[in-house]
Amino acid sequence: MAVVGGGLAGSLLALRLAERFGGPSVDLYLGAATQGRDATVASGGMVRGFETDLDECRLAADSLAELRRDPALTHASGYQESPSHYFLRPEVDPDHQLALLDDVLGGSARLLPAGQVARTLGLAARPEGTFAVVEQHAGHIRPDALRSYAITRAVASGVRTHHEAVTSVEAGPTVTVDGMVRHHDVVVVAAGAWSSALLSGSMRTRRIQYGVYPLARPRLGCLVDDMSTLYGRPWGTGSTLLGVATSAWGAAPGDNRPDPAYEGPASEAARTVLGFDGPLPPPRWSAAGVDCFADHGGLRLRSVENVSGVFSFTGGAGSAAKSALASSRLAAVTVCEAVDG
């Protein structure tokens, strides 16, 4: 079996496959992971259980539960626990998600009036009749550290790693590396933003970007405002990570240069949500990356139409840190079934 892509998703999948099949059965093509240009490096690493999509919520909750109960994962990922505050759009009904979180994470989540949560955090007033999901068991990780841990464990299990870039994936299935065609029983493309160049389909690239601002908001925890798309969390002492969803579709894979044009929308959204009278100070520094978006669903294993034996494992849209543990476990089961079948 071959996994193309050594980001967080690909490295965890390679480890899961090694645990099921034995490492010598798995080849991991690292690609851009060796160059520090992928979305794993750029990710802010926020983890929580709640998502407005029920399937995504289940994956995020299962991933967080595994992260918290496994001391090795907790330590290797640099997991830091802090509350999560997710401000909902008025039309969202979170009852099913809250029941799921109660079952998986043991009563970690509560639904509270958004205005009450905003006052507690010192944020701007919220619209009447809106709500926020508050989770006690949430926080952030270092996705690059978790990726390194997964690769180290996979190699220790016998997984073969390759630093050369894969230039094509074809039916057979085969991968082409340095002009040489290599045959495998199954090929999984987990190359993030580079996946769309290797496979045809409905995946698109988009820039992710955030800034680290000189703002001390230690009570903020992990913040998501679904109406403005603002997200953030404390960063060290005296700084806060803040960003918004960008509209930079079709961004070039590996382009990790921050675009100053996105500092304005992020700062304005943060000023409004955080309740600043004047403009925010400029960020101390900014981080950017490019990830792959699927038309529906998040990080999932998907069969590639008309290409036998080839799957994609991407579509995490810059937020795979929340769901990668559970998604990779489910993906490994499906790959095993494909091999056995």
pLDDT at res. 319: 67
Place of tokens 């989540």: 109
CA diameter of the chain: 62
70-74 contacts, C-beta under 8 A, 24 or more apart: 72/149, 73/146, 73/149, 73/325
Q: Mean per-residue pLDDT for 200-212? A: 84
Query: Cα torsion for 4, 16, 315, 51, to the nearest 10°?
Result: -170
- Predicted TM-score (pTM) of the model is 0.94
127 pLDDT band, cuts 50/70/90, is very high
Q: How many whole angstroms separate alpha carbon 63 and alpha carbon 75? A: 15
pLDDT at res. 293: 82
CB contact set of 93 (below 8 Å; sequence gap of 6+):
none
* Alpha helices for 70-141 (secondary structure H): 71-76, 95-105, 114-121
Q: How far is CA 255 from each of CA 3, 145, 194, 207, rounded to the nearest angstrom?
A: 23, 21, 11, 8
CB 206 within 8 A of CB 251: yes
pLDDT digits (tens, 9 = 90+) for 247-291: 888 888 888 899 988 888 899 999 999 998 888 899 999 999 888
Q: Report domain extents, the chain.
A: 1-45+142-202+295-341
DSSP string spanning 279-336? PPPPPSEEEEEEEEE-SSSSSEEEEPTT-TTEEEEE-BTT-GGGTHHHHHHHHHHHHH
Highest mean pLDDT among 43-47, 215-219, 305-309: 43-47
Selecting from 3.50.50.60, 1.20.1440.230, 3.40.50.2020, 3.40.50.620, what CATH number does the domain 1-45+142-202+295-341 have?
Answer: 3.50.50.60
pLDDT digits (tens, 9 = 90+) for 287-333: 998 888 877 778 899 988 888 899 999 876 656 889 999 999 999 99
pLDDT at 187 over 80: yes
